[in-house]
Amino acid sequence: MDAACMLPFVRSAQDYRAFRIHPSDRNRLVVLFDPTVTDYSLTVCFEIFDQNSGTPSHRHHHADEMFFILKGEGQAICDGKEIPLRAGDSMLVRPTGLHEIRNTGPGRLYALSVMVPNEDFAELVQSGTPAELDAEDLAVLRHQSGAPGLGVMAAIAA
């Protein structure tokens, strides 16, 4: 066995907790992995955008952030450029890129996001207001039959 091989970190749907960064936000985030779990400056989130919601325009000073759209339709605005997003699309935002994500579809927008380095993002999310995951959210997380989209676990395994 390779000396550098480590046991994988595994989490299940019952371990997930959702948060709103600000109490009035209409999007929720679930931190799947963060530096406290992985001992590496990386944050992986499952993001849920309710209809007609989005993130405020913001930038990360040192972090690259990648989004993979699991379900729904949205729009990214990056440094003033509008980019349509739908299930299966991915997008990489480089450090200092001013960006936001908006849900433009009829239902929820679900995305997987990865930020490297963490840049205190996991801490910001987890210091927010606790929120609930409903049956639709859990169906997308678990990629259950009848739930459109790839599901988080299928996207990670792909």
The pLDDT tens digits of the residues spanning 96-124 come to 999 999 999 999 999 999 999 999 999 99
pLDDT for position 147: 43
pLDDT for position 149: 44
For the question of whether the overall pTM of this predicted structure is more than 0.75, the answer is yes
With a CB cutoff of 8 Å and minimum separation 6, the contacts of 98 are 57, 58, 59, 78, 79, 80
Element holding 31 (H helix, E strand): strand 27-33
Residue carrying structure tokens 């299928």: 154
pLDDT for position 154: 45
pLDDT for position 158: 42
Q: Give the whole-angstrom CA distance, residue 42 versus residue 106.
A: 32
83's tokens: 């980019």
pLDDT for position 8: 75
Q: Give the whole-angstrom CA distance, residue 85 versus residue 105.
A: 10
pLDDT for position 66: 97
pLDDT for position 7: 66
Domains of the chain (ranges, CATH numbers)? 17-157 (2.60.120.10)
pLDDT for position 11: 76
pLDDT for position 36: 87
pLDDT for position 89: 97
pLDDT for position 86: 96
Residues of the chain with confidence (pLDDT) below 70? 1-7, 144-158
Q: What is the DSSP letter of 80?
A: T
pLDDT for position 132: 94
